[in-house]
Amino acid sequence: MTRIVRLCGRDAVEDDRLNVVEVEGTPIAVYRAGGTYRATQGTCPHRGLPLDGAPVLSGMVVCPNHFWRFDADTGSVIWPATGHDLPHFPVTVGETELFVQLDGATGDTDCSGNGGGSGVGGSGDGSGGGETA
Ligand code: FES
């Protein structure tokens, strides 16, 4: 069952800069790149450190900790080549608010053995309200 929950107000989102918000206990990074709203896991798949304040430069999310780089549109890891992808979540844009599908993450969510941890997913129990599609 698809579960969509409120992410944040649209006015809380910056261009080309990640802002981490907590949604049902899960840190989610939200940003706008190229005019499109994006939501990713709020922690880096490298060491699990927060991505709050991370910049988007030349179409890449750059982790401020050790500078892993991810495609800003897809979350695919760009550098290092052996790194893990940054899971993205589908975003629904409302008139004044954004909504995220917590159980719809794309990308490599298995970071075991790399010091990270996805921190993604949801209970899938449908609690917390939200829309379904
Ligand atoms: S924690 Fe992001 S690159 Fe190391």
What does the pLDDT read at residue 2?
A: 84
88 lies in a domain?
yes
Q: Whose CA is nearest to atom 1 of ligand 1?
A: 47
Q: Count up the domains in the chain and report the number.
A: 1
Q: Whose CA is nearest to atom 4 of ligand 1?
A: 66
Contact between 2 and 12 under an 8 Å Cβ cutoff? The reply is no
What does the pLDDT read at residue 106?
A: 78
What whole-number distance in Å separates Cα of residue 53 and Cα of residue 62? 10
- Reduced to 3 states (helix: H, G, I; strand: E, B; else coil), residue 102 is helix
123 lies in a domain?
no
50 lies in a domain?
yes
Q: How far is the CA of 105 from the centre of ligand 1 (A)?
A: 20
34 lies in a domain?
yes
DSSP-derived pairing of the beta strands 26-33 and 60-62: unpaired
Ordered per-residue pLDDT tens for the chain, 133 residues: 788 999 999 999 999 999 999 999 999 999 999 999 999 999 999 999 999 999 999 999 999 999 999 999 999 999 999 999 999 999 999 999 999 998 878 765 444 333 333 333 333 333 333 333 3
130 lies in a domain?
no
Q: Which atom of ligand 1 is nearest to the CA of 64?
A: 2
CA geometry: angle 30, 96, 9, nearest 5 deg: 35
What does the pLDDT read at residue 107?
A: 65
Q: 33 lies in which domain range? A: 4-104
Contact between 120 and 105 under an 8 Å Cβ cutoff? The reply is yes
33 lies in a domain?
yes
Q: How far is the CA of 35 from the centre of ligand 1 (A)?
A: 26
What is the CATH number for 53? 2.102.10.10
132 lies in a domain?
no
66-102: burial string, b at 16+ Cβ within 10 Å, e else: eebbbbbeebbbbeeeebbbbbbbbbbeeeeebbbbb
Q: Which of 88, 105, 97 is nearest to 130 (CA)?
A: 97
**What sign does the CA torsion over 122, 125, 126, 127 have?**
negative
- Any ligand 1 atom below 6 A from CB of 65: yes
20 lies in a domain?
yes
